[in-house]
Amino acid sequence: MSASTGVPTAVESEEPRSPGFDAATKNDAEFNKDFRHGFTTVHDVQMHYVIGGDGPQVMVLLHGWPHSWYVYRDIMASLLPGRTVIAIDLPGLGDSTGTPSSMARKALATYVHRLLDHLGYRENVQVVAHDFGVGVAYALAAQFRDQVAGLFLMDFPLVGKNLKFADFAPFSWHFSFNLQHPLAEDLVAGQVETFLSALFSPSDSGVRPASEDELAEYVRVFSRPQVLHAGFELYRDWHQDETDNAEFQESPLTIPVRMLTTVAFAPITLPALQAAAPDAIGSAVPGAGHHLVREAPDLVLTEINTFYPAP
């Protein structure tokens, strides 16, 4: 623990390989009072994470696409009382550097597991996840059951026995576009801001899914060629998730599981989740789009703290 800041000190701190990793936070004194950036290499991938707090309960935040850890920036301080909060850049994404063995969620979860193990968080970890982070969170809980105490999940179709990628691929143009290799990379390289601006168009709630600062941060990380490619690979490995998750679902989860989802996705996300965790509960958020942390932050905070009461 740093005596001057109260922020947890680094565990075997490494020199970051990603330039500009703190571009969005280096001048934010309030944020830096509570949080610090950390880097740890796992299987040749240098994992980037942001950690704060010294509470006994560990909470891990996993992002989706096209985000990074930064999607949780505005709610992280509110989660601190009684907790140690860790927002992780998934392998290959954000300011994590290196090429994972696979972007399938089973493989990504192994990196998260080993990072948490290295940091000393081997059991009773509360997990919050959005979008593809949900798939990683599920694979983490399914493979390393002693490590995960619960799953609070947001708006993601968990493929497996009861749901296939083909069932929801027509929902949005980018599901098919992102599969195109190397066409997607070739078309978006040099046009990342235009591409992300289209993805972050306002939802029915009228709230922009990304502020100007958030958009700038996502443009920065996805302008890294490895990150742009890894993000598209998330979509190309969805069929592997179908196989992996069907195997995981042979042993259903028994930990508490909660899903918040958009109204449009609710008919498929909630039943699919219950194939993995039969006692899972869930509800839709009327008027909000996919980017729930941005569009309904107060609701998300309330739901997290209800599901995971602060110590």
Residue 270 belongs to a domain with what CATH number?
Answer: 3.40.50.1820
Mean model confidence pLDDT for the chain? 94
User: Does 86 map to a domain?
Assistant: yes
pLDDT at res. 3: 40
Instruction: State how beta strands 45-52 and 83-88 pair.
Output: antiparallel
Within-domain flag for 261: yes
pLDDT on residue 203? 67
In a domain, 212, yes or no: no
With 0-12 / 13-18 / 19 or more C-beta atoms within 10 angstroms meaning exposed / middle / buried, residue 122 is middle
Answer whether residue 12 is part of any domain: no
Residue 20 lies in a domain: no
Range of the domain at 75: 29-162+243-307
The rounded distance, in Å, linking the Cα atoms of 29 and 19 is 20
pLDDT grade for 2, boundaries at 50, 70 and 90: very low
The contacts of residue 289 (CB under 8 Å, 6+ apart) are 203, 204, 205, 207, 209, 262, 295
> Could you tell me the pLDDT band of residue 1, with boundaries at 50, 70 and 90?
very low
Asked if residue 230 is part of any domain, the answer here is: no
281-299: buried (b, 16+ CB within 10 Å) or exposed (e) per residue? ebebbeebbbbbbbbbeee
What are the structure tokens assigned to 26, written together? 């280096």
Q: For the residues 141-155, what does the mean pLDDT come to? A: 98
Encode pLDDT of 217-262 as tens digits.
Answer: 999 999 999 999 999 999 999 999 999 999 999 999 999 999 999 9
Rounded to 10 degrees, the C-alpha dihedral 111/86/245/253 comes to 130
Quick: pLDDT tens for 91-130. 999 999 999 999 999 999 999 999 999 999 999 999 999 9
Confidence of residue 208 (pLDDT cuts 50, 70, 90): confident
Q: What is the pLDDT at residue 11? A: 65
Domain count, the chain: 1
Asked if residue 101 is part of any domain, the answer here is yes
Residue 4: predicted pLDDT:
41
Is 139 within a domain?
Answer: yes
State residue 205's pLDDT score: 63
